[in-house]
Amino acid sequence: MDLNTILLIGKPGSGKGTQAKLLTQATGWPIIASGDLFRALIKEDTHVAARMREEHERGLLAPEWFATYFFQKSILPIKPEEGVIFDGFGRKAPEAKIVIEVLNWLGRPFSAVHIKVSDEEIIDRLKKRSEVSGRADDSAIDKRLEEYRTFTDPAIEVFREAGKLVEIEGEGTVEEIQARIREAAGIK
């Protein structure tokens, strides 16, 4: 069976969302973005939302148990032959292990595509995005990069050790990056 599940991983501001949208145009596969799920949650008027909102505004990653809950809730209803693009799942090592276990158990051929971008480029991108979108988490750039190095770097190693990691250069034009991703994933 050909690859039908792509996990996009990268620093905040690496272009995961933009690249996911382009991939869905090429494949017709839906996008499930952890950031969208968490941003929708924090708009609710609940004690859980208030707690998540506080952590989100400080630039902290969600607890892996919460992210894996969203992942499992999202993947289980998808038929085995249907493709899907995940944006921002597997950001912590325990979460990455569960993602791999679930996808292997479901028999879904997948790749974790790591979009590599320098810190300098990320800082520039997030400052510009914060000015345009006003996203609260984009103002906590240093904390978000620290969280990435602390938690996501080890998660990337989990995907590498499982033989599921593909790394692509994430700097250049949007089109160049998309071409690299599609080539790495075998999507025409």
Mean pLDDT along residues 85-92: 94
Give residue 67's identity as a one-letter amino acid code.
A
The owner of tokens 């998309």 is 178
* Cα separation, 151 vs 159, whole angstroms: 13
Higher pLDDT, 61 or 149: 149
25 against 187, higher pLDDT: 25
Q: Tell me how many degrees the CA angle 166-178-156 measures, rounded to the nearest 5.
A: 25
| pLDDT value of residue 171 | 95
Q: Is the pLDDT of residue 96 over 50?
A: yes
CATH number of 5-181: 3.40.50.300
Percentage of the chain lying above the pLDDT 70 cut: 96
For residue 178, CA distances in Å to 22, 116, 119, 181 come to 7, 13, 20, 5
Strands, sheet with 110-116, edge to edge from the N-terminal-most edge strand:
31-33, 84-87, 5-10, 110-116, 165-169
Number of helical H runs and strand E runs in the chain: 9, 5
Indicate the burial class of 73 (C-beta count within 10 angstroms; 0-12, 13-18, 19 or more).
Answer: exposed
* pLDDT of res. 144: 87
SS3 134: coil
Give the model confidence (pLDDT) of 134-148 as tens digits: 655 556 788 889 989
Structure tokens at 67: 């992210």
Q: What is the mean pLDDT of residues 16-25?
A: 96
Residue that wins the pLDDT comparison between 150 and 129: 150
* Residue that the structure tokens 């988490």 belong to: 137
165, 8 contact by CB (below 8 A): no
What does the pLDDT average to over 147-170?
96
Q: Where are the domains of the chain?
A: 5-181
pLDDT tens-digit profile of 67-82? 999 999 999 999 999 9
**Cα–Cα distance measured from residue 137 to residue 183, given in angstroms and rounded to the nearest whole number:** 32
Q: What is the mean pLDDT of the chain?
A: 92
**Residue whose structure tokens are 């996808």:** 103
Give the pLDDT confidence score for residue 1 in this predicted structure. 44
The CB density around residue 128, as the number of other CB atoms within 10 Å, is 12
pLDDT-derived band of residue 101, with 50, 70 and 90 as boundaries?
very high
